[in-house]
Amino acid sequence: MNESRAKIRNCITIFLVGSPGHVDTWDMKPDAPDDVRGKFRPISTNVSSVQICEHFPLMARMMDRVALIRSLNYNTGASHENGQRWMMTGHDFSPNNVQPHIGSVVSRVFGPKGDLPASIILPGKIGNTGAGPFHGQTAAFLGSGHEPFFLGSDPASADFKVADLAPPANHSEPRISARRDLLGQLDALQRRADSKSAQDLDASYARAFNLLTSSQTRMAFELKHESDKLRDRYGRNTFGQSCLMARRLIEAGSRFITVNHFDTVFNLSCWDMHADGGGLNNTYLDYERLLCPQFDIAFTALIEDLEQRGLLQETVVAVLSEMGRTPKLNPRGGRDHYPPAWTNFLCGGNIRGGQVIGSTDKIGAAPHDYPVEPPRVLASIYHGMGIDLETTMMPGPGGRPVRFIEAEPIPELF
């Protein structure tokens, strides 16, 4: 287990909460009947054999970096939470068998690189998505020290501050530092009764104070150090600025960043395109005007930025969602939950871009070849990070060593 200094690559996972319809985005069916094909048209990309939705024009110019997996599927239930658990942990667990988030696994086995937590989730927790509190973004049995660190604040907002990192309101900087000095002096007067627990406690406080006081780590959370031009390039919205912060946090030494694109599916514009006329009233209009452009801009900005800084080879970027959406439009012109087939994609690290793994049938209803279940995507992420899944174990429930995931990586990706 002692591989805390191991050199592994980083990962940024973008999680598209709500789930884009695969037929409307990265697995289009232009020749299918009207009630399948939908409203959007495909466009060509810089990989001649691959077409994607017309509303991803920037992404179309960098398809050579991206490996699409078009044959994802599972069969355990069609709630958002089923898919979140699958794609964030590799298991669709029950409440009494909660499994850890992939970032917590990395944190537990490889540890933090510096003062920043190894696993950070931006901008915040996934809240209500309809069917319970188990979203697969916890450390589960790996211990609270490996819980993802949630930013809990919107990087795009003017009064952005990180939950427990920001100085408390009404506390002046001199007061905070005087108080900290007092603690140091009082602690020094207390008797030294050493033990592992005491050492751990000291080390935890040392790390916390480093994080609070080190200008370098604090700066990682401050987007003001980025040029306006670059901030504009990512898009001046929560998602775009979160993607930018993801890059800053990787640069500052975090290992695994997860960006949740939305934290709920209710009463806002998001990927969950039921078009139900009520709280779930997302439609083609939302995709066209808001969601696709927002994603296209931020995602391509992130890839470009990582590439320019030489970080793309050191960072696996995964774009994941819970499931696909029904191939046939519902009577209201929306699409509903659909786990039997969908598309996600990976790039960066040692992933070979410009290729498509698997395919679906003529209407996108089921994998046509190379069906891929969620655990293989996680195995591929681990493998892409340079983790040897055959020899690396983590302490499972009860301390029993267990594998990260019972699945093989997709060899064609590498």
Partner 1 sequence: MSVSRICSLKRWLAAAAWLVVASLGANGFEGPGAAPRCGGLFSRSASGADMGVIASDIRVQPPAIRLVHHRQPHSILVNATGPDGRVLDLTGQATFASADPKIATVSSLGWVQAVASGETRIAVTAGGKTATVVVTVALPATTPQHSFRHDVMPALSKAGCNMGACHGYSLGKNGFKLSLRGADAAADFLSISDEFLERRVNRHQPAASLLLTKPLGEVPHKGGVRFDAGSLLHQLMLGWIADGAPNDPPTTAEVESIRIYPPSAITSPGAQHQLQLIARYTDGVERDVTRLGIFTANTERVATVDDEGLVITRELGETAVVARFERIFATTNFIVLGEPAGFVPEPVPTDHPIDRHVVEKLNALRVAPSPLAPDERFLRRVYLDLIGVQPKPEELAAFLADPAPDKRVKVVDALFNRPEFVDRWSLKWGDLLQNSRANLNEPAVYSFREWIRTAVASNMPLDEFARRVLSGRGGIQDDPTTAFYAVSKDADETLQRATQVFCGVRMLCAKCHPHPFENWTQVDYYGLHSFFNQGGVKPDPRLAGIPNAKMVTVNLAAGYSTNPRTGRPQPPRFLGGKETELGTGVDRRLAYAEWLVKPENPFFARGMANRLWSYFFHRGIIDPVDDLRTTNPPINPALLDALTRELVESKFDGRRLMRLIVTSRTYQRDSVPNSSNAHDDANFSRFLPRRVPAESLLDSLAQATGVPENFGNAPPGFTASQLPDADVASDFLNLFGKPQRAEACECERDDSSNMLQALHFINSNTILGRLRNPNGRVSQLIRQKLEDAALIEQLYQWTLVRAPTAKESELATQFLRQDPAKRIEAAEDLMWALLNSRDFLLIH
Question: Strand pairing of 149-150 and 119-122?
Answer: parallel
In whole angstroms, the minimum distance from the beta carbon of 39 to partner 1 comes to: 42
Provide the minimum distance between the beta carbon of 194 and partner 1 in the complex, in angstroms, as a whole number.
7
* Shortest distance (Å) from residue 193 CB to partner 1: 4
CB of 163 to partner 1, least distance (A): 8
Cα–Cα distance for residue pair 181/236, rounded to 1 Å: 39
Containing 306, the helix (H) or strand (E) segment is: helix 292-308
361 vs 335: CA distance, rounded Å = 18
CB of 73 vs partner 1, minimal distance in Å: 22
Q: How much is the CA Rg of the chain, to the nearest whole Å?
A: 22
Which residues in this chain contact partner 1 in the complex, by CB under 8 A?
Answer: 94-98, 117, 141, 143-145, 147, 149, 163-168, 175, 178-179, 182-183, 185-187, 189-198, 200-205, 207-209, 211-212, 390-391, 397-400
- For residue 94, give every residue at least 6 positions away whose Cβ sits within 8 Å of its Cβ, in sequence order, or none: none
| Residue 277 beta carbon to partner 1: minimum distance, rounded to whole angstroms | 30
Q: Which residues, including other chains, have CB under 8 Å from residue 149's CB and lie 6 or more apart? A: 116, 117, 119, 120, 121
- Residue (381 or 389) nearer to partner 1, CB: 389
Tokens of 394: 């983590």
CB closer to partner 1, 35 vs 202: 202
Nearer to partner 1 by Cβ, of 158 and 186: the residue is 186
Q: 61 vs 179, which CB is nearer to partner 1?
A: 179
Note whether 138 and 101 are within 8 A (CB).
yes
Nearer to partner 1, 48 or 172 (CB): 172
Closer residue to partner 1, CB minimum distance, 171 or 309: 171
Which lies closer to partner 1 via its Cβ, residue 144 or residue 227? 144
- Is residue 23 within 8 Å of 36, Cβ to Cβ? yes
Cα–Cα dist 248/107, whole Å: 18
Q: Smallest distance, Å, CB 92 to partner 1?
A: 15
Give the residue from 59, 64, 123 showing the smallest Cα distance to 293: 59
Q: How far is Cα 108 from Cα 142, in angstroms, rounded to an integer?
A: 7
